Chains A and B, each alone.
Chain A
């Protein structure tokens, strides 16, 4: 799939949170692990609600986790 214009730091944040697994993050966010994989690889843009939930898991504001870079597609 064409990469989305939404960039993220999920991999880094998982590392900084004790090497949190994708499965644990998925369970805390309330999505499947495959969706976390797709978001992390920037092949799927999450809904705003899921994006907020991911940021909340890491205790970060939304723009510390996600950024919008349309030219980087």
Chain B
């Protein structure tokens, strides 16, 4: 079975004219299906850049990247958008929900861009909200929800198109430790159900939940720790 993620000597350089910043200096990373991987590292280490490339939000400067068996380095913006839409579910630190749209519509949005019919969207979004435990909030605006609830909405949205991988960027960064743990519990549960999950964090406690930790330092992989089950 092909791995979900396979990168070879991935580099990313920002700027260019003399003041180039080399954010990534050759990343070789393979993530298998069903893995729960934590990317850790201090700020400025390049882990956010790596996450952006792995999430197909950005393209690498050099190197190759195969996602779900498909070469994605050098793909056009529209093709990357299609992959993001259908294969990757994003969960961000600050939720990134549309503030004026209802919870239900936020969850429906990825399906809108995937061309799912209106009724089907509604049905699946309602189902997803039940799955993350907040079906009663469907009609409300995100601003009426607590941080933990908002992150659940974000998770429901990430799951909308049944992606092959969930990508979470500091998903508990804005939450207190109790709700943070509840949200992490959702991720663990999703992992147990067989989802591939990639979490970016600087919190070692959170990272310890993952089945593997990869540490980034100065744009390189500094170490990889497998959790002994």
Partners in one complex: no
Chain A residues at the B interface, C-beta cutoff of 8 Å = none
